[in-house]
Structure formats: structure tokens, C-alpha cells
Structure 1
Amino acid sequence: MGIAAYLLWGLFPLYFDALRPTGAWEILAHRILWSLLLCVIVLAVIRDFGWIRGLRGQYRLIAGVGIAALLIATNWVVYIAAVTSGHTSDAALGYFLNPLVTVALGVVVLGERLRPLQWAAVGIGVLAGVFLAVAGGRFPWTSLALAFSFGMYGLLKNKVGAHLSALHGLTLETAILAPLAAIALAVIATWGGGLDFGRHGGVHTTLLVLSGVATAVPLLLFAAAARRIPLVTVGLIQFATPVMQLLCAVLFLGEHVSTARWIGFGIVWIALILLTADTVVTLRRARAGRLSE
């Protein structure tokens, strides 16, 4: 289930590229609304609406989930815009940087202490960002926006969303975002030249509708896998997604990746190898310590 989730996420560039010429904001709105509808249908089938009553008076939880929803919506729209504008490799870089950003946020926001290999990984990650900005001729805004928005989303989910299952969390997040999505569609329909929904054939319309399924299924698979396999395994599997995104960009979407960009990717991969090695060694030591007690 974990592999399936990350493979599906890895194929997202092909999915969203197939939604052209629809703009990123309309795709985002459809993704939110159809995801909410799917969640409501699933909850109705399994008769699981009782958890909603438990949200009464949970203002801090709802506010935290609301901020998390805005962060994931930001992540989604930046990602969609990158793919549909021919910058999928920027998106792949963002998800390669995400583990490093998550570690850095742990230090800055949570006051966590890093081990030497973690410090080295973060330092190399910063070096990669500087190199890409200088050698690439432009600051990697898209990559950093994706990495930080998803990193902050994960941080908030860890703090305020731990009491919600994946299905409940996605339902609440999309319910919070639904009014904004409806407003976005109304604005596009009125002042943005009209909606693309239904204007480009049945296949295109079907893909827009199925964006809810494409959003919910890998999230639910990931949640199911995360409860059953070790964290280090989850961490290792997650690198399949940006690798596949990069392959999709180069092999299927015809994007050119410059030599400087490949060098930047290589620097990031060195940092990720160090981070992974630190995680594996630490978990092995902890396991050996428990066995010796």
C-alpha cells in the first residue's frame, strides 16, 4: 500500500499535464470539491459521521486543520502550475528538498537537536539551494514553495491532526476549503474567460471529476501503510515519488534539464543519502538498546 501510494503520487505529472489547457486554479477547485464529495460518499457508505459531533468546541483543532488546509491547497496549486507550465523538474526538486526542510523546521519551530549527520545533510541542502540559484540563473521559488508548504503542513498535521484519521482529516480540510473553491470557480466563470469544465471533450471532463479520486486514494493508502510499516521504510519509499516525477518530466513531458540542474540534484541526493543513513543507524541503535534491556 505504501509503494502504491508513492507510485501514484509519482505519476501525478502525467495526470495533471493531461488536464491542459485548464488553469491551475480551476484544477485546484475541482480537486477540492470532488475530493469532498468522494469523502462524504465514503462516510455515508460506512456510516461514519459521528466524529463530526466531537468537533464541537474544538476551536483550536479546527483552526489548526484550517491552516493546514490552506498550506496543502498552496502546495497543490503551486504543483499543478509547475506541471502545466512545463516545470515538473522544479516540482520534483521541491519534493527531494522536503525531508531536509522538515528536519530544519524541527530545529527552528520545535527546538529539536540535530545529530551530526543531520546537520551535514541540512548544510548540504542549503548548499544545493545556493548552487541552483547561482548556476541556474534564477532562485528556485517553486521548489522551495513546495518543500516548505508541505513541510509546514506535515508539522501542523502532527500537532493538531493526530486525533483525526486520514479520511476524517481530508474531509475536514476539503470542507474548509470548499467555499473558497466555489468562489474561485465563480470568479473564473465570470471574469476569467469561463470554465474549461465540459469544454474539451468527455475524457478531459472525466479526468477533472476523477481528480477527487486521484487525491483521496493515495492519501488513504499512505495512511494505511504508515500504521503497519516502520518509519524508516516510509522514509525510504518516499523518494520514489520525486524520482518518478523527474523521470516523467524528462522521458514523457519533454522537459530539458540543464547540466547545472543535474548537478544541483546530485548535491541534494548526497544530502538525502546522509539523512537516510542517519535514520537507519539511529533506529538500529535504538532497537539494539531495547533488545539488550
Structure 2
Amino acid sequence: ITIKDIEKIRKFPNACKDSLGRLRVGAAVGILDREPRIEALLAAGADVICIDTSHGHSAGVIKAIKETKATFPNCELIAGNVATGEGAKALIDAGVDAVKVGVGPGSICTTRIVAGVGVPQMSAIRDVCKVAAKHGIPVIADGGVKYSGDIVKAIGCGASSIMIGGLFAGTEESPGETILFQGRSYKVYRGMGSLEAMKMGSRDRYYQDDIEAPHKLVPEGIEGRVPFRGSLSASILQLMGGLKAGMGYTGCRSIPELIEKARFVRITTAGLRESHVHDVIITKEAPNYWID
């Protein structure tokens, strides 16, 4: 252990590390040409592999899970995405170690409009968690997070962890190009289902790997811009602060306790309007709240 290690422990006490003190790393693969990729990723030290597709409750994904577990029995395996209890049960029976939930909740996803398929994220989390809890399988809520309060709600509904894209798309560390528009900085953000991403190689995630002509691709996402939000660490600080506040309000000291204690109340449109800032003009933006 060096002085630098001690400084990192002090600065990042909640960092997710392995037994050797290294940050844990996950990697995603598709169902095609996955074995050599998984082998290389595990050899490089990846802690977990995710078989990531837009439709996890499919014969191809279930077959891929079984084959991967047979070839790499010690591999921690996540698979998804699903949006129903039946889909979760199928993946669990195939041998996954965690299930990823979310069909269409992402800010840049158009699956529910283009394909007419999907389940509201909270309903999907609830249905999947009912099944997963019986088998002791953790659930990852993928998409639909706009505010830190959404993280509290997703975990309270049963999810063990959250996957975020849009909220981090505007940070310095994101790969999107920084652009200026009407005097303000933005970052380019595109979904994996966008036409440009499909052209670059994500088409197999949407089962269109056999389509070569770009004009024949059917995108399930868009490309846009999001406001520049500064450093990733600042965004995570706000999200973690919101989660801690939510846990404090509900009297919970741990994630499992929040899952157990959380209670949900149906509200009206008027109640939702009241929950947001109202009857005032915002003159100074907050780092954790904005209105479209």
C-alpha cells in the first residue's frame, strides 16, 4: 500500500474494488462472436460480463447464457434486457447471476414508439423483482433515471443497482463531442439504437446484423444533444447525495433495508405538479434539478 492508495481510499471511500484493491470492471458483449471476446475480457481482468441485447427474453440470448456458463463456469454473468417477470424467470433458469431490466425507458430510446413494445420502468422493475427475489438474483434497473429521486424509487421497488446513461452523457468524461449551440455548451448523445450507432456496429443488439445497406436499418433510438454538466464526479456526488437523503427520510441504513421498507403511494397529476418547482421562475440553476 502506497501513500497514493491511502489518498484514494480517503477520497473515494465508496469505490467498488476487488480483493486486490482494483476497481471492478464489467464488459458487455452481444450474442454473436462472444466466446473469444469473453475469453479475452476475463483474461484482461474483467469482473463481470453482460450479454446485452434489446430483447433478452429470446431463444438466442437464453442459448448464449447456457453456452457461456458451460464454457466459463466461474464467470459472473449479467443478461438482459427484460421487462417482465416471465422474461426474468427464463434468464434465471438459464443460469444468469443478475438480470437487467428496461425496454424503452431511456431518454434517447424509441423502441416503444417504433416497435410498440415496452413496459413503464417502475412496473417492469416491480414485476421482475418479484421473481428475482425468490431466487436471490439481483436486478439492475437500466434507464429511465432523470433525477436522483428516481434512483431511490427504483431501489425501493426492488432493484439492487442502477444503470445510467443520459445523466452522464453531458459530463466531461463522456465520449460525445462538445458543441456550442446558442452560446451554451452541449455534448452529443446518441443511443445504441440510433442510426449512426447501428452503422458503427450496434445493429446486432437489435437483431439487424444481417442488414448491410444503411438505408434499410430500422433505428430504435435517436442522436441529440444534452447540456454540458461538468465533471462526472460532481454528478455522482449529487446522485449519491439524493440517494442518501431518500434513505434518511425513510429511516433506512442500507440498500436491502430500503428495498424492504419503501412504501409507494399513488399520486395524481396535480400531486406530481406540486412535487416539482412551481409558481416561481428559476433564476439560478441547481446542480441536481432542471426542467425540460
When you count helix as a share of all residues, which structure comes out higher?
A: 1
The TM-score normalised by the length of structure 1 is 0.24
When you count strand as a share of all residues, which structure comes out higher?
A: 2
Q: Which is bigger in relative contact order (C-alpha 8 A, separation at least 6)?
A: 1
